[in-house]
Chains A and B, each alone.
Chain A
Amino acid sequence: MKDTKTIVCNMKSVALHHRLTTVLLKSFTILLLLSINFSAQAQDIDEARQKEGKKIFKSLCAACHKLDKKLVGPALGKIEERRENDWLKSWIKDNAAFRKSGDADANAIFDEYGGASMTAFPQLTDTDIDNILYYTTVGEIKKATANNAGGEAPVKKEAPKWLIYILAAAIITAFLIIISLLKVIGELKGAPENEGGLSNLSGIWKAINENTFLKVLGVIFGLLVSAYFTFGTLFQVGVDQGYQPIQPISFSHKIHAGDNKIDCQYCHSSAKHSKTSGIPSVNVCMNCHKNISEVAEDTKIELDGVTYGKDYLDKEIKKVYNAVGWDEETLKYTGEIKPVKWIRVHNLQDFVYYNHSQHVTVAGLKCQKCHGPVEEMDEVYQYSPLTMGWCIDCHKATKVDLKGNDYYKKIHEQLSKKYGVDKVTIAQLGGKECGKCHY
């Protein structure tokens, strides 16, 4: 079932978010029933063959071919209507030899695609090829209900803020009602109707007002509390934890790093060499998006509380093409480039020197240590406060594993002796000195 729901491209589980998977599993039984119905309806298609063919197609062909669209190679949908089966088999098994044999059509198609030679697949049996061709002929099996099931799957969402307010208001109201009810109950039980609570309060107030010591104590207490809060507030100035700007392209780290498990440093490749992690240049996007021009049916992202689907996301991929000047029709670069103006999420002050490679390459930290669960973020936000205290706390607490790095050999020996510890902290190595980060 799940297989039929994937995917226009050859990557694993592009479309299905984790949450979606759970939902789908829950409704597995219903879906199973429905699909049996559908199998009955679509009797003329040999589903097993289609599935087998599709599997091979996805693993070997999809990098260069699509059914409905020209990619590196021609579109292959219903190819058997255009070419003889034998011709296709010869071509697929070893197209170079086939071309050499002097077949005019083979050489023509080779020239049409700019002399880009296709890999030979001698390992494919005739049955395999027939299965592939069967798949190209019948294409995807449409599962309307399955799609509906996917589409209707409720996307789990955080409770919106207004809900919390309403709940709070309800609780307060309930509390008030309980108090007045209790009061009524009391009255009904025959308690005298006096202004007990109120008079008690004013009694305390009166007592404080008359006692100088309490008055002074109260003022001091008040001042301390307000100073505490003022200070706390002022310290938050310029701390942009949680800053989540809307980017010019709705790039979802969740889809890329989470669902597709692309390594962070595949795109942020300078993190291991440089002070900056580097925003990937658009040509890096094109390493994959040259072939991936649209997302899977059920891909969704959530921005600012609103969920967007395929239509929206496909347009976002077009923005990448637009930036790098990729013409989807001719599959060629036009040379017209338009830089993408990302909005910086992590703004470190310029009087702080921070080096990614020190932390990534030397210390071997995971990106998530500071950037949080980026692989779960549709829109990236600043996870850590990026304050000096936050840096220093980590430097004080983190013990360094220096094994295998000859640079540290001598200094670690000396320091561990000096401090009488097994493993020294970064602070003990000098990571607390002002000049290490401020110059």
Chain B
Amino acid sequence: MAEDKKYWQSVEELKGSSVVEALSKKEFVNEIPTDAFLGDKETLENSSTSRRDFLKYVGFSTAAASLAACEGSVRKSIPYVIKPDDITVGVADWYATTVADGFDFANVLVKTREGRPILVMPNKEASGATNARVQASVLSLYDSQLRVKEPSKGDSEILWADADKEIGTKLEELKTANKPVVLLTGTLASPSTDKIIAEFIAKYPNIKHVVYDAISESGTLDAFEAMYGKRALPNYHFDKAGVIVSFGADFLGDWQGGFGKSYAAGRKASEGKMSYHVQFEANMSLTGANADKRINAKPSEQVFGLLNLYNAITGANVPSKATSFDAEIKKVAASLQKAGTKGVVVAGINDKNAQLIALAINKALNSEVIDVNNTLNIRKGNDAEVAQLVADMNAGKVNGLITFNVNPLYSLANAAAYKSGIEKLELSVAMTEQNDMSANEMQYMLPMSHFLESWGDVLISEGNYGLMQPTIQPLFNTRQLQDVLLTWTGNTTKYYDYIKEFWSAEVLEGASWNKTLHDGFFTKENTATVTANDISMSEVATTLVASTKPSQYELNLYTSTALGDGKLANNPWLQELPDPITRAAWDNYLTVSMADAAELGFSNPVKDNGAINGNYANVTVNGVTIEDIPVMVQPGQAKGSVGLALGYGRFYGLKDEMYVGVNAYPFLMDGNNVQYNVSIEKTSGMHKFACTQVQSTIAGRHEILKEATLAQVLHKDPKDHKNGWNKPVIVSYDHNEVEGQTVDLWAEHNREIGHHFNLSIDLTSCTGCGACVVACHAENNVPVVGKHEVRVGRDMHWLRIDRYYSSKVNKREDAVAQGLSGGDLFEVLENPAENPTVAFQPMMCQHCNHAPCETVCPVAATSHGRQGQNQMAYNRCVGTRYCANNCPYRVRRFNWFNYSNNEEFDFNMNNDYGKMVLNPDVVVRSRGVMEKCSMCIQMTQATILEAKKQGSAVKANEFETACSSACSTGAMVFGDINNKEDEVAKLKEDKRAFYVLDAVGTKPNVVYQVKVTNTNEA
């Protein structure tokens, strides 16, 4: 099966575009950018500089440069005056803390060097999982551009003490006059802060606390409250699931915080335990891309599908409508019923009634996957209260507003009403980390500390407490929310003492505070249970059907893997992270199905430099129009639906480079991520995407990845000549057919002495989340190059996640075998891109034992180490780029420019604050040298040195790379294959193990595990 599969990365490639064909022959899509300094031919000819002059200049500048090089600069070294006890200069300290920024919540470990946090990693002991944004959050700490540095009143700075006094007086005044004040925050999920707010409100009873999430789960919260009497999110244990059915819920992405870790834990093909996952969705999401079966369903059809499933499972007959996939719903219902308590249904639409139906199905299944007792606290936003607040402000019913880290002027659909509301206020205070648009409209702007500078506690789910501790002194004149509120309440306790007191009284049950702080988390059994109320589902269904208004085009708003709700829009690492599906960075766009694109006249032509362009469209939803949204034709987009990512299009306070995309929040009316009544109109002009999908084509090597079904993996011999699903390459040697691995052009090195590092990547567990890409950026000082450079194929990612599309059906026989006939058969053969299957393949230097790059380097700058790493000596490299041309994996990156201390690349490496995030153990590369994945040699060397110092052997599974430590799903496992105890030593011998392009004979040290899909519709 796998061998017959044809992989493609873009629609153009599938169609056999000549441009793509030409591109596949070039390693670098661009020639050396000589134009920049030579100019065009005409200018050159008109130039008065003769060849002689040129030589004179060259001679002079060479002489000048050599003279200048003779004198070394004087370098100062400034030690601590009083060195803190726990810092040894040059040795990293790790602290356990918890991320909670209102959108992302995670237990993490923070690496600090000389008191500077430089890396965030998941706290695996606390079963913490990090996504790309959490990994990148450390860079936002150093965002000197966007962070607020001093308290201000209007346009002038004010002292904290004065601000406290003035605001206190005003609050007293409002209290005496009994004028309502609202405290508007995002989701805090902090028990101690809740108490502080309660005390604050006790002092000022005229204050009301309203929770506002830019991307809310109000629908689920309301539904859960209606059914279980508690405003919280149910938790899901997908690791226990047998059958997962999702209607548009991107639960591997950001839906209700993301469940990638437990999902992957439930899909261990080698152990024979694998859930069956069906996804009905409109946009091609990360979750849909990982599903065993993905069915295109526009949002309104998802709703009817959900209702039909409810009817099928419960035998009820609530109102609904027919959909194009009713047959599939029947099959799915049968699977769910067979799975019984191991089945689960989730729905992504932020609508109370739809969520009630999903809860009811899970209740009917008696699902053990959904956990209604240990609920999640990470979304508390209440859309109704926020809408009421805006109305009240305008009506003069609310006279004061204190906000904390929210930006409604950007993220509220009716931002104009909010703005007119705050102009009517008597007191408006913004406590904010970021100098954003909303904060600037307020009377007072008070700078808040970053989570890496703060104390705090987080109750992510019931019973799972996390502690937040500062890892650096505040960089600016900031305070944290809790300290401010304590001061305003008149409580002189420091928050640190307060939280300590609070924890020993309410949480710790006698456990040690110091140990808990060291661990970063505390688990407590939660014995509280909830019981379900009886709700008339037919009423719910009637309302739901009435509110679902199928239209020609329906909009499904989503959050991108990179930017999420847009809070971190000024973070260059995230902007440069390509979307896992479209592989476009630095942009959001309207995703349109191929059929609709053909109808509306949209296309994505590939330019000869490998970049793709797109048309613009004006989109109107319920009378609100956003103009000139770039259009991306997306395989797998349901016909009649379009998708648009939130979180982009911020401009206030951001660097010019970061002002990309369009703001889609005006479409998020009533907080609903699904909008009907959409009209699309093509406009003129072409948009330039920074899209990496076409740039490294696979040049017809379709064996680049291997897929198999669960049944095959469990029951078939992988190497079977005919039915094998992981067949080795067979070559002819001495006129005999032998396995390709046994034939060698070079003499084999002895690899049994010392360590031999291997990285195993399980394509089944890899969800494509991109956390590893950002972790690699942070650990290895990988530069950010900006939108234009990414567009022309000069991105510097050492680690990229390739996304391959393929179709289930390539040949007529396959289609017939699947029982298709007539129109279906025609359609499936005609248009393989309508709903392709997707596979992700993290790709980095393969550290080949027989590396093609090493043999062609004229200066021996790249060489092989005994420990299996392909080493790159930057100071030796002269930049011929032969190595990149000879690399079959296209993983070598060339420094076309100096990316540090260069005004042209004004990202974190051109900024004193931003440079504080650099890893001091890895050099910042300069212009003109090749670089690539080093297999984190600085980390393996550090582990070895530690063992040497302790005089003991390295323990099993002690070696790590940045990507493998960041991987929450366990897809990436790193280790020493010469230590038989190491997990990777077993994985290397696993029956699913294969090497990418092993026919080339490079013998890589990165081993992949065949991607397994579960096709048993059981």
Residues of A within 8 A of B (CB): 237-238, 240, 243, 245, 270, 273-276, 278-284, 323-324, 337-344, 347, 349-353, 355, 357-358, 361-362, 404-411, 414-415, 418, 430, 433-436, 438-439
Does B876 sit at the interface, judged by CB under 8 A?
A: yes
Asked whether, in the complex, the Cβ of A439 is within 8 Å of the Cβ of B69, the reply is no
Given the complex of chains A and B, what is the CA–CA distance between A275 and B865 in angstroms?
22
Interface: B938 (CB within 8 A)? yes
Q: Is B51 an interface residue (CB 8 A)?
A: no
Nearest neighbor of B921 in chain A, beta-carbon distance: A353
- Once A406-B951, A407-B948 are accepted as A-B contacts, the answer to whether A337 and B863 lie under 8 Å apart by CB is no
Residue B866 CB within 8 A of the other chain: yes
Q: Is B923 an interface residue (CB 8 A)?
A: yes
Which residues of B are found within 8 Å of A410, using beta-carbon distances? 953
B872: interface (CB < 8 Å): yes
- Chain A's nearest CB lies how many Å from the CB of B977? 15
Min distance, Cβ B963 to any Cβ of chain A, angstroms: 16
Contact, CB under 8 Å: A438 / B79: no
B866 to A430, Cβ gap below 8 A?
A: yes
Q: Tell me whether B871 and A433 are in contact (CB under 8 A).
A: yes
Alpha-carbon distance between A322 and B239 when the two chains are bound, in angstroms: 63
Interface CB pairs A-B, < 8 A, 16 = A238-B72, A270-B88, A273-B88, A280-B79, A283-B81, A339-B81, A340-B78, A344-B75, A351-B923, A357-B949, A361-B949, A404-B951, A414-B754, A430-B866, A434-B863, A438-B871
Shortest distance between the CB of A68 and any CB in chain B (Å): 29
A337–B91 Cα distance when bound, in Å, is 25
Q: Would you call B934 and A439 a contact (CB within 8 A)? A: yes
How many chain B residues sit at the interface, stated as a range, is 35 or more
Residues of B close to A275: CB separation below 8 A: 90, 921
Judge whether A350 and B81 touch: CB under 8 Å. no
CB-CB contacts below 8 Å: B844-861 with A: 861
Expressed in whole angstroms, the minimum distance between the Cβ of A420 and any Cβ of chain B is: 14
> Given contacts A430-B866, A434-B873, is CB(A350)–CB(B924) below 8 Å?
yes
Residue of A nearest to B936 (CB): A439
Bound CA–CA A284/B85 (angstroms): 12
Q: Which of A284, A340, A406, A436 contacts B953 (CB 8 A)?
A: A406
Alpha-carbon separation in the docked complex, A337 to B79 (Å): 12
B492 at the interface (CB under 8 A from A): no
- For B944, what are the chain A residues with a Cβ–Cβ distance below 8 Å? 407
Whether B81 and A357, one on each chain, are in contact in the complex, defined by CB atoms closer than 8 angstroms, is no
- Determine if B937 and A435 form an interchain contact, defined as CB atoms under 8 angstroms apart: yes
Most buried by B among A355, A409, A418, A438: A438
Per-residue interface assignment for chain B, residues 905 to 929, with 1 indicating a CB less than 8 Å from any chain A CB and 0 otherwise: 0000000000000000111100000
Other-chain contact of B948, A281, A284, A337, A405 (Cβ < 8 Å): A405
Please measure, in the bound complex, the distance between the C-alpha atom of A439 and the C-alpha atom of B932, giving whole angstroms.
Answer: 11
A351 CA / B867 CA spacing, docked (Å): 21
CB of A418 within 8 A of CB of B753, answer yes
- Determine whether B954 belongs to the interface, using a CB cutoff of 8 Å to chain A: yes
Asked if B83 is at the interface of the complex by the 8 Å CB criterion, the answer is yes
- Which 8 residue pairs spanning A and B have beta carbons closest together? A435-B871, A274-B90, A281-B83, A281-B80, A279-B79, A434-B873, A276-B90, A337-B81
What's the Cα separation between A277 and B941 when bound, in Å? 18
Of all chain B residues, the one with the shortest Cβ separation from A410 is B953
Query: Which residues in B have their C-beta under 8 angstroms from that of A237?
Result: 66, 69-70
Taken together as a complex, chains A and B put the C-alpha atoms of A410 and B754 apart, in Å, by 8
Task: List 14 additional contacts besides A280-B79, A337-B82, A349-B875; criterion CB under 8 Å.
Answer: A243-B72, A275-B921, A279-B77, A283-B82, A323-B81, A341-B76, A342-B77, A343-B75, A343-B76, A351-B875, A405-B948, A407-B948, A415-B753, A438-B871
Tell me if B872 and A435 are in contact (CB < 8 A): yes
B89 within 8 A of A: yes
**Which one of B89, B875, B948, B950 lies within 8 Å of A276 (CB-CB)?**
B89
Q: Are A278 and B941 in contact (CB under 8 A)?
A: no
**Chain A positions within 8 Å of B532 at CB level:** none
A245 and B74 contact, Cβ closer than 8 Å, known pairs A340-B79, A430-B867: yes
Residues of B within 8 A of A238 (CB): 69, 72
Nearest CB of chain A from residue B114's CB, rounded to whole Å: 10
B680 at the interface (CB under 8 A from A): no
The answer to whether the Cβ of B46 comes within 8 Å of any Cβ in the partner chain is no
Contact of A282 among B76, B82, B754, B861 (CB under 8 A): B82
Q: In the bound complex, do residue A439 and residue B937 qualify as a contact, i.e. CB atoms below 8 Å apart?
A: yes
- CB of B874 closer than 8 Å to a CB of A: yes
Given known pairs A344-B77, A353-B938, A411-B754, the reply for A406 and B952 (CB within 8 Å) is yes
Cα A339 to Cα B82 in complex, Å, equals 9
Residue of A nearest to B74 (CB): A343
Q: Who on chain B is nearest to A278 by CB?
A: B89
Contact A274 B74 (CB under 8 A): no
Q: In whole Å, how far is A20's beta carbon from the nearest beta carbon of chain B?
A: 32
Bound-complex Cα distance A405 to B924 (A) = 34
Instruction: Give the chain B neighbours of A273 by CB distance below 8 A.
Output: 88, 90-91
* Given A270-B90, A358-B945, residue A405 in contact with residue B83 (CB < 8 A): no
Q: Does A405 contact B866, Cβ atoms closer than 8 Å?
A: no
A231 → chain B, closest Cβ, in Å?
13
Q: Determine how close the nearest CB of chain A comes to the CB of B926; give it in whole angstroms.
A: 9
Docked Cα-Cα span, A411 to B947, in Å, equals 13
Complex: A355 Cα to B866 Cα, angstroms: 20
With a cutoff of 8 Å between Cβ atoms, the chain B residues found around residue A436 in the complex are 865, 941
Contacts of A362 in B (CB 8 A): 945, 948-949
| Nearest-CB residue, chain B, relative to A363 | B948
Residue of B nearest to A282 (CB): B81
On chain A, the residues within 8 Å of B80 by CB distance are 281-283, 339
Give, as a whole number of angstroms, the nearest-CB distance from A398 to chain B: 15
Contact, CB under 8 Å: B921 / A281: no
For residue B869, CB closer than 8 A to chain A, the reply is: yes
Nearest Cβ on chain B to A306's Cβ, whole angstroms? 21
- Given A347-B75, A407-B954; A274-B82 close (CB under 8 Å): no
Task: Give A273 to B871 CA distance when docked, in angstroms.
Answer: 26
Please measure, in the bound complex, the distance between the C-alpha atom of A409 and the C-alpha atom of B754, giving whole angstroms.
10
B89 touching A274, Cβ below 8 Å: yes
Residues on A with beta carbons closer than 8 Å to the beta carbon of B75: 343-344, 347
B739: CB under 8 A from chain A?
no
Task: Give bound CA distance, A279 to B88, whole Å.
Answer: 11
A111 to chain B minimum Cβ distance, whole angstroms, is 28
Q: Does B752 contact A (CB under 8 A)?
A: yes
Contact digits for B481-506, partner A, Cβ 8 Å, 1 yes 0 no:
00000000000000000000000000
- How close is A431's CB to chain B, nearest CB, in angstroms? 11
Q: Are A338 and B754 in touch, CB under 8 angstroms?
A: no
Given A342-B79, A350-B924, A414-B753, also A438-B874 (CB < 8 A): yes
Nearest-neighbor residue (CB-CB) of B864 within chain A: A433
Q: Which residues 504-549 of B sit at the A interface, judged by CB distance below 8 A?
A: none
CA gap between A342 and B76 in the complex, in Å: 6
Select from chain B the residue with minimum beta-carbon distance to A350.
B923
| B866 contacts across to A, CB distance below 8 A | 430, 433
Bound CA–CA A414/B866 (angstroms): 14
Contacts of B938 in A (CB 8 A): 353, 439
Contact A344 B76, beta carbon cutoff 8 Å: yes
Chain B nearest CB: distance from A143 CB in Å? 40
Q: Would A408 and B948 be within 8 Å (CB), given that A351-B875, A353-B938, A418-B753 are in contact? A: yes
- The residue in chain B whose Cβ has the minimal distance to the Cβ of A355 is B945
Chain B window 46-75, contacts with chain A (Cβ cutoff 8 Å), 1 for yes, 0 for no: 000000000000000000001001101011
Give bound CA distance, A158 to B88, whole Å. 40
CA gap between A433 and B77 in the complex, in Å: 30
Q: Chain A residues near B752 (CB, 8 Å)?
A: 414
Evaluate contact between A439 and B77: CB separation under 8 angstroms. no
Question: Closest residue to B76 on the A side, CB-wise?
Answer: A341
- A358 near B948: Cβ-Cβ < 8 Å: yes
* A362, closest chain B residue (CB): B948
Among residues of A, the one whose C-beta sits closest to the C-beta of B754 is A411
Q: Is the CB of A438 within 8 A of B69?
A: no
Which single residue of chain B is at the shortest CB-CB distance from A276? B90
Specify which of A278, A281, A342, A405 is in contact with B951 (CB 8 Å cutoff).
Answer: A405
The answer to whether A357 touches B945, judged by C-beta atoms less than 8 angstroms apart, is yes
**Contact between A351 and B77, CB atoms less than 8 A apart:** no
